[in-house]
Amino acid sequence: MISTENCLSCKKIRMLSNEKKCAIHVKLGSLLNSNDLNTNYIQGSSPPGVFVGTSNYPNVSLGPMVPLIQGDTSVLDTPELWMGKNFNEIVNFRHSLIRGYKNTHVLDARSGSNFLSQMQELSMTVKPIDSELTLSKKPSNILEFNEDSQPFGPIAPLSSFKLTNTSVDRRIEKAFYDSDLNASDAVTDLYQDDVIFSRIQRSFSLGMFGLKKRRRIVPTRWSITSVDNILSLKLIGLIKDNQSIDEYHVFHYNYLDNVYVVILTPQEWKFEWIEAWFDRSLLASSFPETDFVNEVQMSEYVSAEGYQPVTVSDWESYSGRKTYAKPGGCYYTSRFAVAEYLNSIRKQAGAILLREIRPGYIMPVGVWNVRESLRTLFKQKYESFDSLDKALNYSCNFLEIPKRNWINCSYLLRQAYYQRKLTDFT
């Protein structure tokens, strides 16, 4: 094994950020330090955790996630608790969870099965629950990473699953048994009743909400974006009834070598998300199922270290959008975070969000990183300005990419700077 001191990638990461290891060493360290997986019998406390895969849809892999430890394991599958954690900690959380799976058709949510009922019961529990997995073979010791969902670890086909008596969340249970309530209303009601996002998403993924004849199991990655979309649309509908802010507000926040800047503008609702990836290879590995050839825009800017960032962006006007956003899940989760904040202060605004994904972001960890970073950002003090130009100039103090590059790749900024208004002619 090459030490981190002799690894050129690790040295480069240390020079560019606070991270001490490159992705290869973080993964390798977790794999080497993990518990012995030379067994097909797993006993431990599920956080609770359930995973639904995307492969072979509509026949999907579905199953529980259980670590080889007992006690309070809730942090292992609750992204809301991960803010401030480093890559090592996040990877170790996820690698400790062993996935058993069975192949299930997504429409089984309508007819049900004993196995699916177990998974649904598990998803409703309010605290970690002692569980037993018997796998048909020893689990493959792997780590999977994707920008749309949190990392996932060892996996093997499931022979049987047992869990102890559960203590369920009555709010979720009520929505589950209400087969006359549509799924979007169930998600919204649970959110308004203070059920955390990850619990709502987990139950949504297992086809637990909606009219009985329309229920279906939804892969974990897709369910995250679906819940973000449902909640953001609901909140946007509410904030459109509010007065707009009267100044330009600028927020900023850094986490995992991601720099976030939010500019709120004094006008009716509109929204734009722009993410700039310094390492194009990480962008491609983060979205393995997407062709970004026609989606990315190469920046004219080249960093001192030789990185030429590529940007992915999309936007919407007051009337919303009808097509899927190019940046995927990050667009919808960031839109949710902004709408949540504006609803909390009972105001309306336009929103331009800029994200620099710098070289210290060594591996994708999921859109929870964007959602929770922005939620934290909106708890910080903002700076106020009387013009967009002043707000953008201030924003660029925290960004490495120059101002003109952001304007060139932003629809809303170009519109604001270059499009003449009727008042210009009066």
Q: Is pLDDT of 293 > 60?
A: no
Which 8-state DSSP code applies to residue 423? Answer: G
Min mean pLDDT across 35-39, 43-47, 65-69, 239-243 is at 35-39
The full DSSP string for 338-391 is HHHHHHHTT-B-EEEEEEEE-TT--S---THHHHHHHHHHTTSPPEEESSHHHH
% of the chain exceeding 90 in pLDDT: 73
Q: Which pLDDT score is estimated for 126? A: 93
Report helix angle 87-95 to 23-33, nearest 10. 40
Closest CA to 275 of 125, 112, 422, 399: 399
Residue 282 has pLDDT above 90, yes or no: no
7 falls in which pLDDT band (50, 70, 90)? confident
Q: Convert the pLDDT of each residue in 114-149 to its tens digit.
A: 999 999 999 999 999 999 999 999 888 777 777 666
Q: How far is CA 187 from the centre of its chain?
A: 17
Does residue 159 surpass a pLDDT of 80? yes
- Give me the residue spans of the domains in the chain: 8-107+126-160, 240-425
Higher pLDDT, 425 or 310: 310
Closest CA to 271 of 328, 323, 317: 317
Per-residue pLDDT at 384 exceeds 60: yes
Nearest residue to 164 via CA among 107, 118, 201, 198: 118
Q: Is the pLDDT of residue 296 over 90?
A: no
List, in sequence order, every residue forming a beta bridge with 351; answer none if it has no partner: 264, 271
Residue 422: which pLDDT band, with cuts at 50, 70 and 90? very low
Q: Token digits for 86?
A: 């480093």
Position 425 scores a pLDDT of: 36
Q: Which pLDDT does position 426 carry in this prediction?
A: 40
Query: Which stretch of 130-134, 153-157, 179-183 has the lowest confidence by average pLDDT?
Result: 153-157
Least confident stretch, 80-84, 169-173, 418-422:
418-422
Average pLDDT over residues 374-382: 98
* Distance from C-alpha of 163 to C-alpha of 135, rounded to nearest angstrom: 15
35 has pLDDT over 90: no
| Global pTM value | 0.91
pLDDT band of 19, cuts 50, 70, 90 = confident
- What is the chain's mean pLDDT, rounded? 90
Task: Give the model's confidence band at 337: pLDDT under 50 very low, under 70 low, under 90 confident, else very high.
Answer: very high
pLDDT at 152 over 70: yes
d(CA 213, CA 138) in angstroms, rounded, equals: 38
